[in-house]
Amino acid sequence: MSGIENSKKIEVSGGSNDTKKEISMGPMADSLPELSEKKEFATKCIALIEEHMNEFYKDVLDHVRSLQ
């Protein structure tokens, strides 16, 4: 199935002249990611956020100590 056949079209309106037009949303996914792929991605995101927050809190504590 080609991307054009598998695309979703929606009608939108708005703007200064309130015209309606049809736009294509692009091809729809043939399949969703596996649950294991979602879990792996989420685990990586959480690890990156935790690492970032640990560095942030360390910087804040260093700054507070420098003010004392």
Does this model's pTM top 0.85? My answer is no
Q: Examine the pLDDT at 2 and tell me if it is beyond 50.
A: no
Q: Is 62 helix (H, G, I), strand (E, B) or coil?
A: helix
Per-residue DSSP letter, 18: T
Give the closest residue to 2 by CA, choosing from 24, 23, 21, 22: 24
Q: Is the pLDDT confidence value at 28 over 50?
A: yes
pLDDT, mean of residues 26-34: 67
- Distance in angstroms (rounded) separating the CA atoms of residues 24 and 45: 31
